[in-house]
Amino acid sequence: MTTMTPDLSSPEFDPRDAVLDAALALLASRLDHMATVDEWLTLARAAARCQGTKTAGYLTERDLDQIAEYEMDWDTERDGPLPEVEPD
């Protein structure tokens, strides 16, 4: 299951909705005995937005490496720095 990142800049954005959506996705992943970096990223973004912090603070180095490696949607200003990925 891949989750969609909410438009955090939208005036209609409610961080509580993002937290609930992320929590539901995480619970569904747990029921399937798996959680992807997509689910963790969505949850981290929602928690960071609610706390007024950067997303990177809620992720492991391994998560950040995967996000950089897979070139996932990431905004350095909003989410924080990603590690440099060396080209193959």
**Mean pLDDT estimate for the chain:** 81
pLDDT at position 8 over 70 = no
The whole model's pTM is what? 0.64
Q: Is 55 helix (H, G, I), strand (E, B) or coil?
A: helix
**Contact status, residue 54 vs residue 78, Cβ threshold 8 Å:** yes
For residue 6, the model assigns a pLDDT of 58
The label of the residue with tokens 């950040």 reads 64
Provide the H-helix boundaries in the chain: 15-31, 37-51, 61-69, 76-79
**18-67 per-position pLDDT tens digit:** 888 888 887 777 667 677 888 888 888 888 888 889 999 988 898 899 99
For residue 49, the model assigns a pLDDT of 87
